Amino acid sequence: MSNPAITTAAMRDAEATMTQLRALLARVLEDEVRDIETGDNLFGYGLHSLALMRLMQPLSQLAGARLAYDDLARRPTLAAWQALIERSRAGH
């Protein structure tokens, strides 16, 4: 049985991470990203290799560890990036 307090805290953390991801992406794409679904391919919304390079440092800061360009480019969705950041924060 899961602890409701831990589950609620994890949900809040996940929501905060997604909010931060959307803010970073909006700055780089210079566009509103609320309409982007978490599973949408970000390259279809104007993300390109140079923009992804500009995201590397802030995404790594968000994760608390250096993220690999290839990992981000291979799975260019908000959901995949969120999972990568959360795994990094957990030390995996």
Q: How far apart are CA 36 and CA 34, in angstroms?
A: 6
- Long-range CB pairs of 55-59 (<8 Å, 24+ gap) are 55/24, 55/25, 55/28, 58/24, 59/21, 59/24, 59/85
Domain boundaries, the chain: 4-89
CA atoms within 13 Å, Cβ hemisphere of 65 = 11
pLDDT computed for residue 33 by the predictor: 73
pLDDT in tens, 25-63: 988 887 767 788 999 999 998 999 999 999 999 999 999
pLDDT computed for residue 84 by the predictor: 96
Instruction: Tell me how long the chain is.
Output: 92
The domain defined by 4-89 folds into: 1.10.1200
